Structures are given as structure tokens and as C-alpha cells.
Amino acid sequence: MESEKVSIPRFRGSRLNRVKKMDIFPKVEDPYKMTSSVGGTFSIFSFLIIGFLVYSEISYYLNSQFVFKFSPDVELEEKLKINIDLTVAMPCGHVGADILDSTNQNTFKFGQLEEEDTWFELAQNQKMQFENKKHFNSYLREEYHSIKDLLWRSSFFTQFGDLPPRSDTPDRPYDACRIYGNLVLNKVAGNFHITAGKSISLPRGHIHISAFISERDYNFTHRINRFSFGDPSPGIVHPLEGDELILQSGMTIVNYFIEVVPTTVKTFLTSISTYQYSVKELTRPINHDKGSHGIPGIYFKYDMSALRVTVSQERDHLGMFLARLCSIVGGVYVCSGILNNIVQLIINFVTCNWLNQKDETAPLHKDSSKTQFSTLVNTIPPT
């Protein structure tokens, strides 16, 4: 039986040689490379610069930026949640609080605020927290445009929470009423107000019964601990929180004109639909002799904005990030190479001129020594 011969094809490397001939990046063998102290110095500085720039670029990429976009608000079926916690310097039996929206619908059908008799003067521990909140929110309102990016990026909530329990109990009757709670309203313009007397709902509105309250008992001095719309979200500042208004006359109308702006906050992990607002305050004393009429009280008149603000957390594309890293490394490498060549050229130019001058002066000294030696030989008489 004849044995079968198996032929194994051998790779001679012809194709690999063809690929090597196509190399456009020629390599210099180590024996032909020349190093210098100048090149080593430039290399060290280049590595330091590249490391610093790469670190800065990575930090910039990780620190995302927030982009604000405006668009028409088309979410007309949404509900408006209002969060209230304020104190009025009148007993709860003398004041009434309710909301009436533009549909003439008493919105207490959606819920009811809580009332709690208390003292208007805060205890020492409560006063410390409220003063901190007051000054902090005042600073945020004034410097918001300078620090808004920091607020959004740090996920900072401006809410301080409820006041702590009183550290002491005054020995006098209650002189204030705390009104607090949450209501879910129609997403339309409305009027939340606090006036003297309890309210009674009617088919086409409501009235406040204040016949048994003297005008001397009117005092609408108030303190706002919380007033916001929607769910809490980091980065949003509520302008009325931490506000305190002391009135000298009880017959005064305090108007807050509020524009509520629907806001969508989109981060890498969550998406929140909430509201932020801007407010204008107008205080007007009632004087019927001078033609200033009205019902004394505190009025929060809010209206909905037709635009929606979308706050998006964005980051540059990964390809752009890698391209910038490559451009940093390549740019520093090329620039340092150019500077190294220029410095080497200057050093070589200066060194060559100095050596040439040395070579030119050396024969002169040699010839002069020979002349002196020959002169000395000629002057010696023969013996």
C-alpha cells in the first residue's frame, strides 16, 4: 500500500513583504538615533503639559453642562400642585384661606389646607433656622445667574424643611395662624388669598364673613416658610420662601403677582416635570378718603406661562472627546518637536562658529612659536 503524501503549503512571506513596502511611516533603527539633553528636557516638559491638558479635558467631559430650551407648553391636561406653609399674625378663628381659579371653581374640592393656632414670634431655635433660610434665599435670588450651573450640577435643594418644634412655650394666648398643606389644582390662572373671616362657598363664587371682626384686629403681617409649585427639584429657587413682611397698618392689601413656568428637568438618570415661578410684590394701604378701596388681605395671584422650559443635562459625544484627546497629544508632540529642532539648530550654529574661530586662531599661535624658535636659533653664535 502506497503511503499518501501530504503537502503543507509554506508561507514565504511575499505578501508580508509587499505590505511592508507600503509603510508610509518609516522607522529609524536605534543605532542611528541620537539623543541629547535638550531633547530630554523638552520631552519631560511635553509629558507634563500633555498630562495636565488630558486631565483638564477629562474633567471638562465628566462635568456635564445644562442646556435651557424653550418650547410651547402643550401639556394642557396636567394638574398644578401648590405647596403652602405660611403664618399670619391673626388667630385662625379670624382668617380664612381659599383659592378661586379662572373657571370660578372653588378648588378646595381638590383638597383643604390645614390651620394651626400658634404664636407669631418664633422661638430662638426657630428664629435661627428661619433667619438662615431668609439670608440664604436672598443670596440665591440675587446671584442666581452666576451660580445656576453650580446649583443644577450639585443637585442642591433650596428647601430647608419645616421649622423645628419650639424650645419654649409662651405664657399668652395664640396670636397667629399657621396655614399649610398641598393642593392639586387646575392648570389655569387662579387667586389664593387670605382675608378676614371664614369663607362660604356659593354657586358662583364665595364670600368671607367678617362682620364680627373689628378692623383693629386686622393684622396681615405674615411669614412665608414654603411656597412652591410642583414636586421638589434640585436647582430651582422659590423666591417667596424665607420672606417676612411686617405691616404697620392692618388695613392693607398685599398682592403677589406670580407667573408660573412649567419646567422639565432631564438628567442622565431621571426626568422630572415641575414648575418654577417669578413674582412681583405690591403693597397698598386702604384709604377710602383718598380713593384707595379694596378688601384687606394677602393675595397670591398666579398665572400660567405659555412656554415650557426644558433643562437638559448634556455631555459631548464620546467621539468628540477622543478626538480632542488625540489633538492634544499630537499638537503638543508636534510643537515640542519644532521647538526642539529650533533650539538644536541655534546650539549647533553657535557651537560651530565658536569651533571655527578656535581652529582659525590655533595655527597663528603655532606659526608664531616656530618663528620665535627660529629667531632664537639664528641669534646663537656657532662654537
Q: How confident is the model at residue 144 (pLDDT cuts 50, 70, 90)?
A: confident
Looking at the chain, the whole-number percentage of residues with pLDDT higher than 70 is: 77
Q: How far apart are CA 325 and CA 58, in angstroms?
A: 9
- Phi then psi dihedrals of residue 239, to 5 deg: -65, -30
Following CA atoms 208, 214, 220, 226 in sequence, which dihedral angle do they give, to the nearest 10 degrees? -50
The cell for 102 is: 379662572
The cell for 5 is: 503524501
Q: How confident is the model at residue 32 (pLDDT cuts 50, 70, 90)?
A: low
Q: Indicate whether 383 pLDDT > 50.
A: no
Q: Of 20-24, 159-163, 280-284, where does the model show the most confidence? A: 280-284
pLDDT digit string, tens, across residues 299-339: 999 999 999 999 887 877 888 888 988 998 888 888 988 88
pLDDT digit string, tens, across residues 34-72: 777 777 888 888 889 989 999 988 888 877 778 889 999
Lowest-pLDDT range, 28-32, 213-217, 228-232, 291-295? 28-32
Q: How confident is the model at residue 176 (pLDDT cuts 50, 70, 90)?
A: very high
pLDDT digit string, tens, across residues 343-357: 888 888 887 766 666
pLDDT score recorded for residue 68: 86
Judge whether 305 and 261 are in contact, CB under 8 Å: yes
pLDDT score recorded for residue 292: 82
Beta bridge partners, 118, equal: 176
pLDDT score recorded for residue 157: 62
pLDDT score recorded for residue 364: 46
Could you give the angle at the alpha carbon of 174 between the alpha carbons of 166 and 210, nearest 5°?
Answer: 140
pLDDT score recorded for residue 1: 46
Q: How far apart are CA 374 and CA 341, in angstroms?
A: 50
Q: Of 2-11, 205-214, 259-268, where does the model show the most confidence? A: 259-268
The cell for 380 is: 646663537
pLDDT score recorded for residue 61: 83
Beta bridge partners, 65, equal: 314
What's the whole-number average pLDDT of the chain?
80
Lowest-pLDDT range, 96-105, 180-189, 255-264, 282-291? 96-105
Q: How far apart are CA 230 and CA 309, in angstroms?
A: 14
Lowest-pLDDT range, 84-88, 198-202, 300-304? 198-202
Q: Of 11-15, 108-112, 173-177, 346-350, where does the model show the most confidence? A: 173-177
State the residue for C-alpha cell 403652602: 84
Q: Of 18-22, 83-87, 196-200, 317-321, where does the model show the most confidence? A: 83-87
Residue 5 DSSP code: P
Looking at the chain, the whole-number percentage of residues with pLDDT higher than 90 is: 17
